[in-house]
Amino acid sequence: MYNTNMKRFLVISPHPDDLDFACGGTMAKLIQEGNKVEQLIVSDGSKGSHAIGIDGKRLKTIRQKEQRAAAKVLGVKNVYFLGEIDGEVENTKKLRKKLVEMIRTIKPDVVMSFDPGALHRFDFPPRSHRDHRQVAEAVFDAVYPAVGNRSFFPELLKKKLFPHTVEEVWFFAPEKPNKLVDIKKFMDKKIKALLSHKSQIKDPNALISRIQKMPRETFRVVKLT
């Protein structure tokens, strides 16, 4: 795993649950190894249901609760929500500023996020969701170069949010992985975390058998320093 203990990881996810699918086992493993893992969920998940009778506002509250429950299973203490509207996320200067603000506040050594390069194949529609594409690029734009450069969003300096160096990005769901994490020992935690997202699960048994067939999580690690 990572060379030194006590690295700070920030996992940024377009919706509640994406991060638990992509790297739930790795988050549990990193925490057990002594690292700190925090989560930032960009959209409110308010369109993530086909059920009639659940309005977006209620779903937003439900999904925040589900995400906090999933985080607790993995040992993640801090979950932040940006509250962007589900399905309407755009990689704007405003979003990049919010991301830079969060990253300069949390000061992670490593940011984990969707691999922007892998989202443009459109062969597996749920992966290429527009919010995923927009968030993946916005996160990259925020970590390089904005977060470490004082000329980006100079108004943040007045809030004592100074440039911060993110050492690495671990892109999850990558096209060309260069890091494989064995999560067999953390499979139970990953499954339990995923099952916390009750509003999203039609068939829990199908989900469990699908996840059990994936004993490794993959990443493309990119060094920024």
Please say whether the beta carbons of 172 and 213 come within 8 A: no
- Identify which of residues 15 and 98 has a Cβ nearer to Zn ion in the complex: 15
- Identify which of residues 19 and 37 has a Cβ nearer to Zn ion in the complex: 19
Please say whether the beta carbons of 133 and 119 come within 8 A: yes
Q: How far is the CB of 135 from Zn ion (least distance, A)?
A: 9
- Rounded CA gap, 163 and 32, in Å? 29
The kind and range of the H/E element at 54 are none
- Identify which of residues 15 and 189 has a Cβ nearer to Zn ion in the complex: 15
Give how many residues touch Zn ion by CB under 5 A. Answer: 3
Q: How far is CA 22 from CA 56, 175, 211, 215, 225, in A?
A: 25, 13, 10, 12, 25
Interface residue with Zn ion, options 15, 104, 189, 197 (CB under 5 A): 15
Q: Which of residues 133-172 bind Zn ion (CB under 5 A)?
A: none
Q: How far is the CB of 148 from Zn ion (least distance, A)?
A: 28
Write each residue from 17 to 46 as x if it is in contact with Zn ion (CB under 5 A), else as -, in one continuous string.
-x----------------------------
- Identify which of residues 14 and 25 has a Cβ nearer to Zn ion in the complex: 14
Q: CA angle, corner 136, sides to 214 and 120, nearest 5? A: 75
Residues that bind Zn ion (CB under 5 A): 14-15, 18
